[in-house]
Copies of this chain bind each other. A is one copy, B any other.
């Protein structure tokens, strides 16, 4: 992309940006998935966003990140110096409005997640999550989960045991199958949607 961009890679669990720490660059994710994490002093943590390639990572308004960004599985990305992208944003309204669109989309997802976290049961949260991954995977009956059970728990505001139990229950009742632990096969989409509770 940019002349000064630097190609990088990271493996699962590596930190790309640290909460409240300054960073001189953005990152353009070219392949893989990253999670955005917020942590309480005592270690409890919540995944407040997932980003899939291709996308831009980094706080558009300040050099300090407001979340920790970690790779989920292997990740390829390019570092882009702040000054460079900021200069382009200033002179290119089309880029700015594209970024605005992405931002609005993230806000919308964040608010849906707030509804989930605040008002849905464990069953509904897990089912909604499967449904979203199903849609992200082109509505194919079988798809791959990027996240471990622990990450799902941190994303859904549950414990990993609860996530596991809910997945088992969905499997037991014939709604989905798990050919390979991280692979999901949707057997009864209507019932999965019903379980997600909208």
Assess whether A4 is interfacial by the CB under 8 Å rule: no
Q: Which B residues lie within 8 Å of A107 (CB)? A: 103, 106-107, 110
Instruction: Determine the main DSSP class of A at the interface with B.
Output: helix
Contact call A115/B38, Cβ cutoff below 8 A? yes
Q: Does A67 contact B103, Cβ atoms closer than 8 Å?
A: no
Q: A61-B104, A61-B105 are in contact. List 12 more A-B contacts (CB 8 A).
A: A36-B111, A42-B197, A44-B120, A66-B108, A66-B111, A90-B93, A93-B93, A103-B103, A103-B104, A107-B110, A110-B111, A110-B114
Q: Which residues of A contact B (CB under 8 A)?
A: 36, 38, 40-42, 44-46, 48-49, 59-61, 66-67, 90, 93, 96-97, 99-101, 103-108, 110-115, 117-120, 154, 156-157, 197-198
